[in-house]
Structure 1
Amino acid sequence: MDIQWENIIKFSMSPIEIVIRGTLTYWFIFILLRLAGRRDVGSLGIADLLVVVLIADAAQNAMAGEYKAVPDGMVLIATIVFWSFVVDRVAFAFPIVRPFLMPPKLCLVKDGQLQRRAMRRESITSDELASELRQKGVEDISEVRRAYLEPDGSVSVIKNTGE
């Protein structure tokens, strides 16, 4: 049983094709998830999850031999990491494009009142929001001055000052 090193370290497809495939896949999934909303209340952000899933899949293909060579997987992983880095940097450097790349915070509670339109837009039930508020130490919604769904899917709470 001989190891065929040439098959392991030689590209089995054009690196340019791998970069194009990786770029198209990244942007398709990014846009799809961005349009789908932030249904991931209190969990990882969509972009974080996207990068983890794509890297895991790309690495699995390279290791399992679905690609013919390891460098194929390496180029795809580098492409995915590159786009993740670019999206973060562009959102930081150019505030005008930030709303397209990262959703703005969304007010869910205002002066103790549920903002049902915002909740409906993100498909958040009253029970889910109540659970998030309890985790923040809020027993009654009247204690909340503002509660926001943050871009990463977490809920932040500003309590009334007791005036």
Structure 2
Amino acid sequence: MSTLHSLFALSIPLLEIFVRGSATYIALLAMMRVIGRREAGGLGITDVLLVVLVAQAAAVGLHGQASSVTDGAVLVGTILFWSVVFDALAYRWPRIGRLIKSEPRLLIRNGEYNLQVLRRELMTREEVQSQLRLHGVDDPAEVERAYIEPNGLISIVRRDHGEPDEPGRPDVTL
């Protein structure tokens, strides 16, 4: 029975778990907000590796000497708590929301690239053109507006206001 008790008993103080979880969540949120949207969209193998490494590096700061299931549950609860709090703040107060959450950025207007946004997002014209092709657009001149969205994906409004293809799903008829 003592083994079962040690499995669920807090091994470090509750306040320490909460403070560690809070500090780590807020620090990672700030860092992810600074790196830009491009890193958020569609994960490739190197992106998954990066996420795993960041999680592993953050784990030391998160759990300290924690060893029980309850410690982990409190930590997960703390992270979920802050996630909900920041979402609620962003919803309730739009000014705070602009600090916490990204807004779409205009990549193309009337067929012309916004070079300032391309530089900020570390994107080349070729990378944007690749994304345009995924939407069934061959020439940037066909684009009235294209945005990089907060999730890292690119959305397009065509000049003819036709519907672009859905990314990753080419219009193929057999």
TM-score (norm. length: structure 2): 0.76
Shift in Å, 1:117: 1.1
Shift in Å, 1:3: 7.4
CA-atom RMSD in angstroms: 2.5
How far apart, in 2, do the equivalents of 1:81 and 1:99 lie?
A: 21
Residue of structure 2 in register with 1:47 after alignment: none
Instruction: Give the gaps of 5 or more residues in structure 1.
Output: 45-49
How far apart, in 2, do the equivalents of 1:3 and 1:14 lie?
A: 19
Residue of structure 2 in register with 1:103 after alignment: 102
Distance 1:145 1:67, change over 3 A: same
Residue of structure 2 in register with 1:91 after alignment: 90
Q: Match for 1:146: what amino acid? A: R
Provide the aligned length of Structure 1 versus Structure 2: 148
Q: Match for 1:97: what amino acid? A: I
Q: Please give the residue correspondences for 1:1-163 in structure 2 after superposition, counting only pairs within 5 Å.
A: 4-40=3-39, 42-43=41-42, 67-161=66-160
Q: Match for 1:123: what amino acid? A: L
Q: Match for 1:133: what amino acid? A: L
How far apart, in 2, do the equivalents of 1:126 and 1:103 lie?
A: 22
Cα shift readout 1:18-49 (whole Å, capped 9, x = no counterpart): 000000000011111111222326437xxxxx
SS in 1 for 2:39: coil
Mapped contact 1:38–1:153 kept (Cα < 8 A): yes
Shift in Å, 1:134: 1.0
Mapped contact 2:37–2:149 kept (Cα < 8 A): no
Instruction: State the identity as a percent.
Output: 35
How far apart, in 2, do the equivalents of 1:14 and 1:41 lie?
A: 34
How far apart, in 2, do the equivalents of 1:41 and 1:76 lie?
A: 24
